[in-house]
Structure 1
Amino acid sequence: MVTAADSGDPLPVESSVWLAARPAAPARRRSEALSGLDRERITAATVRLLDAEGLARFSMRRLAAGLGVTAMSLYWYVDTKHDLLELALDRALGELALSSGPASEGWPGRLRTLARGYRRLLADHPWVAPLTAAYPNIGPHARAFDAALQRLLDATGLAGSARTGAHLAVSQFLHGCGGTARRAPEGDFCLALDVLIAGIEAKATA
């Protein structure tokens, strides 16, 4: 099955699993009931399988085999493979530490901490980067991450188009580093991040 991530076409927002109503699951066969299958368990297993085998090799059949259930039983909890990949993406984003850090660091220090954490996430889960480009990123953890970024940008004092531009620059920088998270040396990433922050600081004090 070709996914949005495979084809390069982004999934329309209205198709997101986070906007879909969840009807009650049909009665399960006794074998599935005894397996303890639920959406949380399926999502966690999806993350593990994506980490182990990558996005290109992921399939509902492989996932079901790892869980010891039939592939069709997975569709009692998600409508499509897209839904499951969206759920896995947001679960991975939930690993990010979003605490603002010591006030003494100021927004530049806290932004560095957030950016480095995001880079580590992309290195630990290489499949996250292509999925962030393919899916709407409106799950609870994705929204919490953006809210944390918005709070940091609020602290810069920028407003209007400058504020919008800063948000775009930081977002593009973080998402763009996904393809090089494993290859680019940490020092190079930190230098690029320092340049970005210096530009925001200069704009804020202009």
Structure 2
Amino acid sequence: MATAADSGDPLPAESSVWLAARPAAPARRRSEAPSGLDRERITAATVRLLDAEGLARFSMRRLAARLGVTAMSLYWYVDTKHDLLELALDSALGELALSAGPVPEGWPGRLRALARGYRRVLADHPWAAPLGAAYPNIGPHARAFDAALQRLLDATGLAGSARTGAHLAVSQFLHGCGGAARRAPEGDFCLALDVLIAGIEAKAAA
């Protein structure tokens, strides 16, 4: 989990950028906003900065310098640095391919593809795993990922507590292995994933 040392200041207690209602700014204030900026551009720059320098070195001042604006300019578009980190986390998860198309191997093959894609995202963005543990992780791409996982579990035929247990096992496996994505070899991850899938198949068969 990210700590104050990782991100530079205390983590929010019970808040999320995805839960906060942002009232529209008055027309006069909107006209005063820095030109050439928007949330999407700022979020993309945040992802690039985190990839380049890591979570511990991230700051609004560094981000502003990369964008060629003042740090205060960023606060027209986000309320806090934590908002930006949440936006960056969900943007990274947006790189996942969540196709619902048919796969010859059925749900096991699709679950393998989904899990390996998730691991690749965390390996490409090593800051995403600690942020996923520190924040609610309820952005649109995170919800789309969970919905895709739920559809795969629907296909197993499991129900009740068995279905709940399978969801918990897969989620904990992905989040737990995510922090070690750059340290654990791909082959070890795939072997562990095969063991997990075999357990789900055995439970479904029973």
- TM-score w.r.t. structure 2 length? 0.91
Q: Report Cα offsets for 1:172-199 as digits up to 9, x if no partner.
A: 0001111211111111111000000000
Root-mean-square deviation (CA, aligned residues, Å) is 2.9
1:115 is matched with which residue? 115
Residues 67 and 30 (structure 1), Cα distance of their counterparts in 2 relative to 1, 3 Å cut: farther
- State the shift of 1:24 in Å: 2.5
- State the shift of 1:23 in Å: 2.2
CA distance in 2, matches of 1:99, 1:10: 37
Identity of aligned residues (%): 93
- State the shift of 1:90 in Å: 0.4
Residues 33 and 51 (structure 1), Cα distance of their counterparts in 2 relative to 1, 3 Å cut: same
Q: Which moved more, 1:179-188 or 1:167-176?
A: 179-188
Name stretches of at least 5 consecutive residues in structure 2 with no aligned partner: none
Q: Report Cα offsets for 1:79-111 as digits up to 9, x if no partner.
A: 111111000100110000001342422100000
In the alignment, is the contact (CA less than 8 A) between 1:96 and 1:121 conserved in 2?
A: yes
Q: Which moved more, 1:103-112 or 1:196-205?
A: 103-112
Q: Which moved more, 1:39-48 or 1:100-109?
A: 100-109
Q: Report Cα offsets for 1:118-142 as digits up to 9, x if no partner.
A: 1110100000000000010111000
Residues 121 and 7 (structure 1), Cα distance of their counterparts in 2 relative to 1, 3 Å cut: closer
Q: Report Cα offsets for 1:19-60 as digits up to 9, x if no partner.
A: 111122467899985640111110010000000000000000
- TM-score w.r.t. structure 1 length? 0.91
Counterpart check, 1:144 vs 2:144: yes
- State the shift of 1:4 in Å: 6.1
Residues 48 and 82 (structure 1), Cα distance of their counterparts in 2 relative to 1, 3 Å cut: same
1:52 is matched with which residue? 52
**Partner-residue secondary structure (3-state), 1:28:** helix
Q: Which moved more, 1:4-13 or 1:126-135?
A: 4-13
Residues 145 and 32 (structure 1), Cα distance of their counterparts in 2 relative to 1, 3 Å cut: same
Residues 102 and 85 (structure 1), Cα distance of their counterparts in 2 relative to 1, 3 Å cut: same
